Chain A
């Protein structure tokens, strides 16, 4: 049984709204941080054409530190490796032609993949709906950030929403005691990896998840 079949939470506005708001707050932070480096037009363009907080913060952080374009592109490539894990999990649940899946893949981010897997609606529809919310929030947040928008201390609340969201998604995917143990293992391995090799950054949870999902024990 897959996690999606085991769960039963439809995608409701009450669920997607806090997530979209948190993404918007981080969009504001990104817009404010990137504007001085990229300028207003390119900052807005980056959120419109990239739509990945992880990638964009990595890019701006490296540019601000004086890294060259090749170093930035290498980092972007490494960060994007996680998309293969997310896409691999979601792929069996997606229907339709290659063209349709190619279009939907635009919305492949951690949050939308989790919601698509957790919702009893079709993964395609959930990915599209949640993705539109997330994309709109990210672009609007960036625009607010470059316009000098303030988050009024909401960064802390926004930062708290993401671990809560991922805990909720993990709990929906867990099947049985072995599943709980695997989830806990994924979190612990991620923590150890980050402590030993912080440069792994966003790859650490992917590696932690892969290690914890290896065959062995009972599902």
Chain B
């Protein structure tokens, strides 16, 4: 198999999984809809953990860790902009101090 073919097959697999999920499969209803409604918060919390520690569960550097602490501290505001700003500010403070 050539690299070109591999790329094309990879692209097709990736797109089909996306299209199947939002266009081909029926929308959730009833109990499944309730379940799907509960899914986003833990899913994004899990993604945050994965983005922080990585596949090998490495201990994060101080600055990214500070960014996470800053973001968590800002979550009661329930504003994506404020959370991003708090995280970035904490990151920059630790980078400057370190």
Question: Could you give, for residues 59-98 of chain B, a 1 whenever the CB lies within 8 Å of some chain A CB and a 0 otherwise?
Answer: 0010110011011101100111101100110010000000
Cβ B83 vs Cβ A186 within 8 A:
no
Cβ B46 vs Cβ A189 within 8 A:
yes
Select from chain A the residue with minimum beta-carbon distance to B91.
Answer: A160
Q: Which of A85, A88, A101, A163 is close to B71, meaning CB atoms less than 8 Å apart?
A: A163
Q: Mostly helix, strand, loop or mixed at chain B's interface?
A: helix
Cβ A167 vs Cβ B21 within 8 A:
no
Stretch at the interface among A135-143, A144-152, A205-213: A205-213
Q: Which of B33, B35, B37, B78 is close to A171, meaning CB atoms less than 8 Å apart?
A: B78
For the complex, count residues of B whose C-beta is within 8 A of A: 68
Cβ A83 vs Cβ B17 within 8 A:
yes
Taken together as a complex, chains A and B put the C-alpha atoms of A73 and B4 apart, in Å, by 13
Cβ A101 vs Cβ B22 within 8 A:
yes
Known: A162-B51, A171-B75, A209-B42. A91 touches B22 (CB 8 A): yes
Cβ B45 vs Cβ A183 within 8 A:
yes
Cβ A167 vs Cβ B22 within 8 A:
no
Cβ A164 vs Cβ B79 within 8 A:
no
Taken together as a complex, chains A and B put the C-alpha atoms of A43 and B75 apart, in Å, by 38
Cβ B75 vs Cβ A168 within 8 A:
yes
Question: Could you give, for residues 31-45 of chain B, a 1 whenever the CB lies within 8 Å of some chain A CB and a 0 otherwise?
Answer: 101111111111111
Cβ B80 vs Cβ A83 within 8 A:
no
User: Which residues 63-95 of A have a CB within 8 angstroms of B?
Assistant: 69, 72-73, 76-77, 80-81, 83-92, 94
Residues of B within 8 A of A72 (CB): 6, 10
Cβ A117 vs Cβ B14 within 8 A:
no
Cβ A184 vs Cβ B45 within 8 A:
yes
User: Which residues 1-39 of A have a CB within 8 angstroms of B?
Assistant: 1-3, 7-9, 12, 14-15, 18, 38
Cβ A160 vs Cβ B63 within 8 A:
yes
Cβ B78 vs Cβ A105 within 8 A:
no
- The smallest C-beta distance from B5 to any residue of chain A, in angstroms, reads 8
Question: Could you give, for residues 188-219 of chain A, a 1 whenever the CB lies within 8 Å of some chain B CB and a 0 otherwise?
Answer: 11110011001001101110111111110001
Given contacts A159-B51, A213-B39, 20 further A-B contacts (CB under 8 A): A3-B37, A9-B79, A73-B6, A83-B14, A85-B39, A88-B21, A105-B15, A105-B18, A105-B22, A106-B18, A163-B49, A163-B71, A164-B84, A167-B48, A185-B42, A190-B45, A209-B40, A213-B35, A213-B38, A215-B34
Which residues of B approach A to under 8 Å, CB–CB?
1, 3-11, 13-15, 17-25, 27-28, 31, 33-53, 55-57, 61, 63-64, 67-68, 70-72, 74-75, 78-81, 83-84, 87-88, 91
